[in-house]
Amino acid sequence: MAVSIYSTATEYIANQVTLTRGTVADIVSAGVYVNTNPNTVPTVSSFTTVTLVDGTSGSPPPLAVAGQIDVLTKVGPGATGVTAGDLSTLVAGSYQVWILIKTSTEAIIRKIDTLTVL
């Protein structure tokens, strides 16, 4: 799903994760990376750690969608506490969004989305 936001806006973007094996409890951390080159796969250390929300749990957190597991990213000038240049200072343009899911045994990187900053 392509996402468009204004450069002056601060918004949450949710990217749904579908587990083909294991459980949410197996996920150690989630990350996001944005860049303008769709052909360059980022390294694991390049990702900004973001929130994983589990809407499948018995007591889902407030930002969860019932029945979904989402990587939740706050993007825009109000996105404090993130790596400068990755999410808080994006200029107008088109970006590839990469998602990282880390377990204790592997790091899974997926090109999941596009983001257009207007």
Query: What are the tens digits of pLDDT across the range 66-112?
Result: 888 888 887 777 655 555 345 667 778 888 888 999 999 999 998 87
Q: How far apart are CA 19 and CA 65, in angstroms?
A: 16
* Whole-number pLDDT of residue 87: 67
Q: How many domains are there within the chain?
A: 1
Residue 83's CATH number: 2.60.40
Give the pLDDT score at 78: 64
DSSP per-residue string spanning 35-103: ES-TT-PPPGGGPEEEEEEETTSSS--TTPPTT-EEEEEEESTT-TTS-TTTTSSPPSEEEEEEEEEEE
Q: What local confidence, expressed as pLDDT, does residue 81 receive?
A: 53
**Domain range spanning residue 62?**
3-117
Q: Is 0.75 surpassed by the pTM of this model?
A: yes
Q: Which two tokens stand for residue 78?
A: 């109000």
Token duo for residue 30 = 């989630």
